[in-house]
Structure 1
């Protein structure tokens, strides 16, 4: 099962790729929902696992349609410094995490 544990909104930066030296693609406004996976079976434990879904709206000149086609994975740097590796899943800026949550650098 999934439980919504956090909702985030702010202005961030879309980065090209997933390396520490990834180039900036431009600024975006984001709305994100962070879900934690858990088991509803008594006594069953599962490791912490998170899924992030949301949407970005470009503040700079970013062609989301083109980006979606040519980059399987990008990084979104949030206002608080955390980063999210994600895939753009639709031409209107919907996204989904590609790892187990957000990380800091």
Structure 2
């Protein structure tokens, strides 16, 4: 009878230790299941942000390259952004209802 009591206690302790391990694996500790899911989501968001920043960097790089090598791009930027004119040309600026000059290029600068 005493041997069966020890077996029963041993089995109960084994199940308790196993349950504690499962609990710790899923809900406890630094690398718990919810924390891993949150880190995975954070990584996905950071990856998407990195992709959008890479596209923006490529766009800026292409624009800088065209301004460095293409005289037409330089002239277009000077005309649209800074209002430069050739001799004999006239510039018409449209003023909005607030009295501010409206930028035709839409750059807002």
What is the TM-score of this pair, normalised by structure 1? 0.20
TM-score by structure 2 length? 0.19
Larger radius of gyration between Structure 1 and Structure 2: 2
Of Structure 1 and Structure 2, the greater strand share is in 1
- Using CA pairs below 8 Å that are at least 6 residues apart, which structure has the higher relative contact order? 1
Which structure shows the bigger proportion of residues in helix conformation? 2
